[in-house]
Structure 1
Amino acid sequence: MSDVMPEAAEMPGAGEPVHPGPVPSAAAVPAVPVPEPGHWGPEPLGVRRTPTGDARIDALLERLADADHLPAEGHPQVYEDVHRGLREALDALDAPPGPAPAPAGPTPSPPYDLRS
């Protein structure tokens, strides 16, 4: 047995016509639904959102429904907005309780009174 591929003419069935099988009748091919005129465009996906109990998070999740009414080009803006809000909510969980810390950096000196 050789490791070399046989020539196409040497392969079994070479030169015989290819028969794909019977052609389906038009009745056997399912019809593709065509929207009525004037109804082209985005359609809601109908994804249900379960409330989390956190008003901020629930508002962000409801914002996702805005993508249902936008063309695909508008989806990234909605997703980025929701993602940013969710990250801020998660970051807030890591923040220590109490007032926000003062910004780091040098403390400004009081102005000097040159009249003395």
Structure 2
Amino acid sequence: MDPESVAEPMEPEEPDTAELPLAVVEMPVPDPEPTGHPGVDAALDRLRELTDRPTGAHPELYDDVHRRIQDALAEIDQQGVQA
């Protein structure tokens, strides 16, 4: 067998990755604009806690904010049905 005819193993290609912007440590988090609904405003206010938490804890906080907003919207829907 001719040594030149033996295929060399191919190395896996590096996947294309997007360049993500680096976070700025001292980047201020803007205050959420008031919505006029106390339940929604309280939920959005929790987003201020993101800067004090490690990144791994962010999903838990996002889930809580999402749940609170869903509860507030369900409450608003119920009030509309009863009116």
- Please give the range of the TM-score, normalised by the shorter of the 2 chains: 0.5 to 0.7
Give the structure-1-normalised TM-score.
0.43
Q: Is 1:65 paired with 2:20?
A: no
- CA distance in 2: counterparts of 1:43 and 1:74, whole angstroms: 19
Q: Is the helix fraction higher in 1 or 2?
A: 2
* 1:47 positional shift: 2.0
- CA distance in 2: counterparts of 1:43 and 1:70, whole angstroms: 14
Change (3 A) 1:45 1:82: same
Change (3 A) 1:45 1:71: farther
Alignment correspondent of 1:97: 82
Q: Is 1:53 paired with 2:36?
A: yes
Which structure 2 segments of 5+ residues have no match?
1-24
Alignment correspondent of 1:84: 67
Which structure 1 segments of 5+ residues have no match?
1-41, 99-116
- CA distance in 2: counterparts of 1:64 and 1:76, whole angstroms: 11
* 1:72 positional shift: 0.4
- CA distance in 2: counterparts of 1:65 and 1:58, whole angstroms: 12
Percent of aligned positions with the same letter in both sequences?
A: 35
Taking only aligned residues, the RMSD between alpha carbons, in angstroms, comes to: 2.1
Higher relative contact order (CA 8 A, sep 6+): 2
